Amino acid sequence: MALPLPLGLTHSEVAFLAEMELVTVVPRQRLESIDLLSGKTPPLRPPHRADLPLWLALLLKKQRRANIVPPPWLHPASLAEIVHRETKVHPQAFSEPMPTSSRARQSEPGFAGRIGGDGNGEEVTLSPPFQGNCTSSAPAGYLPYHWFEVAEALITHAGDDLGGNTSEIRGLLRDLVEVRAAKMRDSAETLGAEGQGGVVSLRGVGAMELAENRGFVLGVVDGVRKIGGAVETARREREEEMDLGGGDGDRGGYGGGGDSDDDMGI
Amino acid sequence: MSYYDIDSILTDAEKIPCTFQLDIPDLGYLDNTPTQPLKAGTKVSLPLWLAEMLVIANTGGPDNKTFVTFDLPRALGNDVVQALKADPRAVPLRDQSAHFYGLATHMMDLSEEQELGSVLRKTFVTRAAEISLHARKVGGVGTKGKGKDEGSNLGIGGAGEEFLRGLDEWERKLFRKAHDGAKAGKEWMESIKKN
């Protein structure tokens, strides 16, 4: 292979993308709005919360200029619920991804508003990094696309903001990783099951898990395809023969080459 | 399969038991009788690339016979298939052939084996799940699955090594891929703690 780079995104690339996720911070100092390529950051006024990209939040956190409010799904109770759901309730499927493009307003249950929608009728379609899946207003009990990267970054750099139970969170995350890795392995077996058509659902799988298992899953798909290839060609040939044979049988012999086209044209 | 694919070339060199259907002069040395012509009905092991050509081509004679007929090689024989049906994980495929799946897909192209395909498919995916398990558990940098289980937290001892030694080339590639993924994950986890 000419290019030594693996297919798809590497782990560090995924982690880099995850740094675009918005997280909620409580600033300790005033900071004016910064005009970035991706848009203006909100101005920081000390007691008021603001949503910042993860990279900026971590930078401010390291300089002790802000505290990070952990997203609700990183709370031990939420993680424990997901672990329970993944192991007991749906032992086969990955848990549902976070609801898209909306964010639940916790003060007004049942309402959800677009993050970018500012009321002038302009629809803003948001893809995962901008959905606000990691802000303090994200719903609990779901795992966002970048769950693993964001969780690791927050535990490592903002452990003191997580309410002092870092080791518990770390343990639950470890459980989740193991449970979902086992599901990923089992997905290989469903891939090869007869009548499945070589399809496996990866709904709800996080970016980091995809990066880790991409090579393996593609390898399995490729292998099944190669093994099935010979059987498939044989089956097609047989079907063609059967079609031809049926046409001949009706007329009791050869000699009607023109007619057989009509038979098959149905 | 690329022209330069070394595994494909090596697969073509696997021997297939063939039976000649015709007397062929001057080929007696294949059967260790250089002075005699090669008799019809002689069994000779031919490499796959040659056997394939001889099986497909016909002699052009009145009876439309082919030059040779072939049997399934021992690696795909009934014993092995039955063992695979019983437990795919217990068969060291490498002992049968280093290019087991490559050989098998080739043979399926040539012969009309219905059952072999589904057995192989089940074998491949069952073993793939097992491979993935081992690939995650083999720890350390650059061990490349040579049976070092220093980072293992499951008690994979001799049994795991035994299994890994029995992988054929396709499965080794798969192990490599799964292991690279797991290793990259581990390395990233360590790098995030440093900065």
- The residue ranges of every structural domain in chain A are 1-105+127-266
Rounded to whole angstroms, what are the CA distances from B113 to A100, A172, B57, B62, B72? 48, 49, 20, 28, 10
Shortest distance, CA A115 to any CA of chain B (angstroms):
30
Contact B108/A at CB under 8 A: yes
pLDDT of residue A76: 85
Cα B138 from chain centroid (whole Å): 24
Closest CA to A112 of A120, A124, A103, A121: A103
Set of chain B residues whose Cβ sits within 8 Å of the Cβ of A220: 124-125, 128, 174
3-class secondary-structure state, position B152: coil
What is the domain range of residue B34?
1-71
pLDDT of residue B158: 54
- Give the other-Cβ count within 10 Å of A51's Cβ: 19
- Confidence check: pLDDT of B39 > 70: yes
pLDDT digits (tens, 9 = 90+) for B122-157: 888 888 888 888 887 765 444 444 444 444 444 445
> B90 and B55 in one domain?
no
**Domain stop point among B19, B41, B71:** B71
Contact A193/B at CB under 8 A: yes
Written as one letter, the residue type at A54 is L
> B132 and B37 in one domain?
no
> B161 and B89 in one domain?
yes
- Say if residues B165 and B172 touch (Cβ distance below 8 Å): no
β-bridge partners, A22: A53
Set of chain B residues whose Cβ sits within 8 Å of the Cβ of A153: 192
| Inter-chain CB proximity B192 and A214 less than 8 Å | no
pLDDT of residue A155: 87
> B98 and B178 in one domain?
yes
The tokens for A18 are 């995850």
Helix (H) or strand (E) holding A208: helix A207-251
CATH of the domain at B7: 1.20.58.2050
> B97 and B175 in one domain?
yes
The number of helix segments (H) and strand segments (E) in chain A equals 7, 7
**Domain stop point among B30, B53, B71:** B71
> B180 and B164 in one domain?
yes
> B93 and B64 in one domain?
no
pLDDT band with cut points at 50, 70 and 90 for residue A248: very low
> B64 and B25 in one domain?
yes
Mean pLDDT of chain A, nearest integer: 74
| Inter-chain CB proximity B192 and A153 less than 8 Å | yes
Contact B154/A at CB under 8 A: no
* Mean pLDDT in residue range A44-67: 87
> B117 and B31 in one domain?
no
pLDDT digits (tens, 9 = 90+) for A144-197: 888 888 888 888 888 888 877 888 888 888 888 888 888 888 877 777 666 656
What is the DSSP secondary-structure string of A72-106? GGGSHHHHHHHHHIIIII-SSSPPPBPPTT-EE-S
Set of chain A residues whose Cβ sits within 8 Å of the Cβ of B121: 192, 194, 224, 227-228
The CATH number of A1-105+127-266 is which of 1.10.357.10, 1.20.58.1020, 3.40.50.460, 3.40.50.620? 1.20.58.1020
**Domain stop point among B19, B45, B71:** B71
Written as one letter, the residue type at B97 is S
pLDDT of residue B86: 86
pLDDT band with cut points at 50, 70 and 90 for residue A216: confident
| Burial of A199 from C-beta contacts in 10 A (0-12 / 13-18 / 19+) | exposed
Cα four-point dihedral sign A132, A134, A138, A143: positive
* Mean pLDDT in residue range A26-47: 83
φ/ψ of A27, rounded to 5, equals -70, 155
pLDDT band with cut points at 50, 70 and 90 for residue A25: confident
Q: Which residue of B has its CA nearest to A184?
A: B129
- Range in A240-254, B87-101, B142-156 with the lowest mean pLDDT: B142-156
| Count of domains observed in chain B | 2
